[in-house]
Amino acid sequence: MFRVFLKVNDTCPHCGEDLHHHRADDFPAYLVIVIVGHILVPIILVVETEIAPAIWVSMTLWPSLALAMTLGLLQPVKGAVVAIQWFGGMHGFENAKKARARRRERRLTRAFSFSRPNPSAPASPPAARRSSNPPSKSGSEWWRRAPWWSHR
Ligand SMILES: [Zn+2]
């Protein structure tokens, strides 16, 4: 997904999915600050009050720990942000999401194709049965429609 540390590939090298639509911007960095802060600040408070290490230990340990956590988290968090934008069809990912919905609909239609009318069967059912049991318009073939989450 990444061609350099935080440079997202224009397309997925595995499946060719367009990734250049992402607008991650500063959000991954903001999330990493929130995560690292919430993990590190309580640890620092406890260690500094309970153990109170020498000042040079504090001044080297905490910045290097913060740096290591930040560098370790930036790439996965950015990947997750791009994935959320892709999944939600945000920005330029809209067409990719519609294409996924169309593929899913085609799969569903194929999976339920046994319910299509049999061409070798008689053209119309007996008249008596047809009049007593009219086909319902609204409830018919609901499975052919796209699922509710793909409607806009
Ligand atoms: Zn891919």
The pLDDT tens digits of the residues spanning 94-149 come to: 999 999 999 999 998 888 776 666 667 666 665 555 555 555 555 666 667 777 67
Q: Where are the domains of the chain?
A: 1-111
Q: What is the pLDDT of residue 99?
A: 93
Q: Which two tokens stand for residue 89?
A: 């069809």
Query: What integer pLDDT is reported at residue 115 of this predicted model?
Result: 61
Average pLDDT over residues 16-29: 93
Q: How far is the CA of 1 from the centre of ligand 1 (A)?
A: 8
Q: How far is the CA of 81 from the centre of ligand 1 (A)?
A: 15
Mean pLDDT, rounded, for 61-65: 97
Quote the ligand 1 centre to 26 CA distance (angstroms). 23
Q: What is the DSSP letter of 135?
A: P
Give Cβ neighbours of residue 66 (< 8 Å, ≥ 6 apart). 36, 40
Does pLDDT of 55 surpass 90? Answer: yes
Q: What Å distances lie between residue 136 and 15, 121, 142, 148, CA to CA?
A: 43, 21, 11, 20
Ligand 1 centroid to Cα of residue 16, in Å, is 6
Q: What is the pTM of this model?
A: 0.67
Q: Would you put residue 18 in left (φ > 0), alpha (ψ -120 to 50) or beta?
A: beta
Q: How far is the CA of 17 from the centre of ligand 1 (A)?
A: 5
99 alpha carbon to ligand 1 midpoint, in Å?
15
Show Cβ contacts of residue 33 under 8 Å, excluding neighbours closer than 6 positions. Answer: 70
